[in-house]
Amino acid sequence: MKSNLLFIFFIICKIVNAQSEIVIKEAWARPAAKHANSALYFSIHNNGEIPDTLISANSKSADITEVHETFKRENNQMGMHALKFIAIPSKSVIKLKPGEFHIMLIDLKKDLKLGDFIKATIQFKNSGALKIKAIVKDSGE
Amino acid sequence: MLRNNKKFLHFIMKNKSIKMKQFLILLVLGLSITGCKNKLQVIDEFGDNKYNLIDQNSKQVVFPDFVKGKVVIMNYIFTNCPDICPINTNNMRLIQERLKKEKITNVELISLSFDPKNDTPDILTKFAMVRNLDLNNWEFLTGNKVVTDAIINNAGVIAVISDSTIFRDGRKIYYYIHTDRISLIDTEGRIRKNYLGSKINIDEIVNDLKTL
């Protein structure tokens, strides 16, 4: 009985430990006017042994928040589409960055000006909800 | 260049064994090597067309007449675009900053909306203001969809509606698959070079601009 309890405790510790292995860094968003759209970018560091999945995001700064990917077709034509998830393999870094994965902030509730900060919650299948704070800036590319 | 051409002709005249046909071929090749170096070809031209548009201040302008005599850097955008068009526009800003730094004047920047139904002058103004853009030599243009389509067609830019978002109140906004492009237009309204708008080499653009 005692050993069973110890085993369960060990498993719970492993799960909790695994859940804390996702770290979000370098979050930023593009400036945009109220009622317009913006994009949120960051890097996801999965330091754990267990793969995870980004399944959704939400922010009080926007009416709708969607996971998106920009794609390229022939002749430098660019488009984007919504994604149901982004896979985060174990021991990996997945970057949401301009021209690739991003969180689309649709119908902003206020102007996002350079230097402002916005808050968002990023939902992972295993790690649950992670809160982030992103600075509004323009990239240097 | 003139000195090179003279040298070339001197070489031809000295080699009398060269026949007339060979002479002409060599002459054309020689001139193309020495004379056309660094010259940008005309890709497309707006010619004598007059496109009636309005800028971000609701002022009516006739494109390309209102910028003739100036070199134009132009991109093609829709403001509901969250990713590529803002990158492209930010690159326009970086070009503008470089031009200021190098004290290059007589250049106008234009951002043309291919989604004029949504991109009213007010929306375009907000798009620029929230980014702190310097509009001293930068116009955001919109107008009748037929007119904006004619311009982008002339520029070889494609913009087709793809996905959309429907809001709870029934509003619907569209997203476009579109050409990611910045164009270099000469003082006569002729497109001389196109660049991938979201991934530019500013040195290349400024150097090209200097050859016009």
Whole-number pLDDT of residue B43: 93
Domain count, chain A: 1
Residue of A nearest to B88 (CA): A141
List beta partners, residue B76.
B112
Rounded CA gap, B54 and A99, in Å? 30
Question: B2 pLDDT exceeds 50?
Answer: no
H or E stretch covering A132: strand A128-136
Cis before residue A89, ω within 30 degrees of 0? no
- The reply to whether residue A37 touches residue B176, judged by beta carbons under 8 angstroms, is no
Q: Do A79 and B178 touch (CB under 8 A)?
A: yes
pLDDT, average across residues B200-207:
96
Cβ within 8 Å, pair B82-A82 = no
Tokens of A130: 């992670």
* A83 in a structural domain: yes
The answer to whether B203 faces chain A, any CB pair under 8 Å, is: no
Contact A80 B80 (CB under 8 A): no
Domain ranges of chain B: 2-35, 44-211
Residue B195 has pLDDT above 90, yes or no: yes
Q: Answer whether B123 touches A (CB < 8 Å).
A: yes
Q: Which residues in A80-104 are b (16+ Cβ under 10 Å) and which e? A: beeeeebebeeeeebebbbbbbbbb
- Full domain range(s) for residue A75: 2-136
Query: Which regions of B100-189 does DSSP assign to beta strands (E)?
Result: 107-113, 138-143, 159-166, 172-179, 181-185
* DSSP character string of B61-101: EEETGGGTTSEEEEEEE-TT-SSHHHHHHHHHHHHHHHHHH
Task: For chains A and B, count residue pairs whose Cβ atoms are closer than 8 Å.
Answer: 103
Q: Which residues from B are below 8 Å from A28, CB to CB?
A: none
pLDDT digits (tens, 9 = 90+) for A79-124: 999 999 999 999 999 999 999 999 999 999 999 999 999 999 999 9
Residue A115 lies in a domain: yes
**Is A30–B86 a contact, with Cβ atoms under 8 angstroms apart?**
yes
pLDDT at B60 exceeding the cut of 70: yes
Look at residue B35 in the predicted model and tell me its pLDDT: 47
Lowest mean pLDDT among B32-36, B39-43, B136-140, B169-173: B32-36
Out of B130, B180, B198, the one facing A31 most closely (by C-beta) is B130
What 3-state DSSP class applies to B122?
Answer: helix
pLDDT at B19 over 90: no
Average pLDDT, chain A: 89
A66: nearest CA partner in chain B = B165
B174 reaches A (C-beta below 8 A): no
User: Is A15 within a domain?
Assistant: yes
* Res B197: pLDDT: 96
Q: Which residues does chain B have within 8 Å of residue A37's beta carbon, measured at their own beta carbons? A: 80-82
Nearest chain A residue to B156, by CA:
A75
CATH number among 3.40.30.10, 3.10.20.70, 3.40.50.300, 2.60.120.1090, domain B44-211: 3.40.30.10
The set of residues, in sequence order, having a beta carbon less than 8 Å from that of A110 and lying 6+ positions away, is A34, A61
* Rounded percentage of chain A residues whose pLDDT exceeds 70: 84
pLDDT in tens, B115-164: 999 999 999 999 999 999 999 999 999 999 999 999 999 999 999 999 88
pLDDT of residue A12: 52
Q: Check CB contact under 8 Å for A36 and B126.
A: yes
pLDDT higher than threshold 80 for residue B23: no
Q: In chain B, whose CA is at the least distance from the CA of A39?
A: B82
Q: Is the pLDDT of residue B97 over 90?
A: yes
What confidence score (pLDDT) does residue B25 get?
59
Query: What pLDDT does A5 receive?
Result: 60
- Kind of pairing between the strands at B190-196 and A22-29: unpaired
Contact A37 B80 (CB under 8 A): yes
How far apart CA B192 and CA B114 sit, in angstroms, is 21
Q: Is the pLDDT of residue B53 over 90?
A: yes
Is the pLDDT confidence value at B170 over 60? yes
Task: Supply the CATH number for residue A63's domain.
Answer: 2.60.40.1890
The predicted structure's pLDDT at residue B34: 47
Asked if B93's CB is within 8 angstroms of A138's CB, the reply is: yes
- For residue A53, what is the enclosing H or E element? strand A52-58
A141 with B87: Cβ contact below 8 A: yes
Give the gap in angstroms from C-alpha A40 to the nearest C-alpha of chain B: 9
In a domain, A141, yes or no: no
